[in-house]
Structure 1
């Protein structure tokens, strides 16, 4: 028989997370004495001192630090277990929340969503457009069910989805194109680079060449495209997104040496726990896998734009 309860571990974790018994009581909407009593009973039951008193403050003991890590995992698993039960009880979900990195081809996404909506006409779909680590941040906080991200989800499931190919481009009249020669990265340093910022709260990721002395940072790839089309800078942009501009000749790839103008980024499909996903989410995943298998390569798009 277990010596402790989940509720006691929840109170213990609340004290640590909140920074004290009074603060924890306010967080869990219980009296300070009941929180203190639950932790005291827990210590007596397991025979381990979890906190040390330092003046008026409490601090985790060395044993308490170990138990905190294990308790956090235990409570996380308990929440997941209940989420699985909720999913089984509810049957088909009513809402599907998806975080999608903005470099993922929008036309492909719309095709997938249309297919899923035809199967589940009552389903509400919520799309969060993200940049860099933004999708994983939303997944980790439980705000979305699925994520498409350029990073593997640290504590969950991730599978390779597709490669997105980028080209360094500028307006046809940009000074870099007027040099009429092969460019080096040193040539780019004297010109403005347009970059897209990480949409996560931490904004901890930077991707791509950032060597330009002058940079404008924007929040969406479409804004970057608008700026580039005005001749106000250069950027690495997803080839699938700038296909029309390449075809019309408004934008042209920069003639960098050693094919440095072309880059690739791998996107991942991620989720926290597959057991909690409902039928609509599974249908979305299946259709997404099928559609990305037929994603045209950059070579095909570039050849089409030249013709």
Structure 2
């Protein structure tokens, strides 16, 4: 093999390596059962694919897209100048352990939550710090992920606003929705965003098709949970 052929071979090999790696950032609120199905589908379609998965909160996904760290993001906040497609809407409910005193009351108003400790998920972004949701409690425990928030609630350290799909998991039968007056909830819209420099890549387009199919499954899953 001459030098020109060798360079061409190296270039093709390098391109193959790039295309066999997918970097994703997924918001901590996105239903993990559905994410598992997406990853299984990708494994079936692309057995040699190396996936780097980043769990993010709030503005962190936008930063990873801007920095070129990830190719695809699913998050509530996206970078300026980007467009996204609605993946799903996540309904958040005030949730506590079954033994929490708030569950002994009926038709709670938000004001009744103020004396009780709230578990809050912090913004994972390095360049911004966005507060999201009701933060009316006089004291809080701030954690880095949804799983940590669930753990704190299960340990009876306080209440938290959690996605309804979390309550459907068998391991969380000791958690319950607080009986807020008028069934108050919070709604978060999650969008699927592709890093702009990758939009023409055939591999990324194929991934988009897979994710679009799972959006349909996700909406059906959400309907079953409600």
Does the TM-score normalized on the shorter chain lie above 0.5?
yes
The CA RMSD over aligned residues, in Å, is 2.2
Q: 1:230, 1:247 → 2: CA distance?
A: 12
**TM-score after normalising by structure 1:** 0.64
Aligned match of 1:194: 119
Q: Identify the structure with bigger relative contact order (alpha carbons < 8 Å, sequence gap 6+).
A: 2
Mapping for residues 83-98 of structure 1, pairs under 5 Å: 90=15, 93-98=19-24
Q: 2:74, 2:222 → 1: CA distance?
A: 20
Distance change in 2, residues 1:134/1:120 (3 Å): same
Deviations 1:40-83 (A, max 9, x none): xxxxxxxxxxxxxxxxxxxxxxxxxxxxxxxxxxxxxxxxxxxx
* Secondary structure of residue in 1 paired with 2:217: coil
| Aligned positions, number | 213
Q: 2:172, 2:183 → 1: CA distance?
A: 20
Deviations 1:221-273 (A, max 9, x none): 1111011112211011011123126973x11111111221x221110111232
- Cα pair 2:166 2:172 within 8 Å, conserved: no
Q: Which runs of 4+ in 1 moved over 6 A?
A: none
Distance change in 2, residues 1:217/1:203 (3 Å): farther
* Cα distance, 1:280 vs structure 2: 3.1
**TM-score after normalising by structure 2:** 0.86
- Cα pair 2:60 2:123 within 8 Å, conserved: yes
Unaligned runs of 5+ in 1: 1-85, 303-307
Q: 1:114, 1:161 → 2: CA distance?
A: 18
* Secondary structure of residue in 2 paired with 1:202: coil
1:300 aligns with 2:197: no
Moved more, 166-175 or 116-125: 116-125
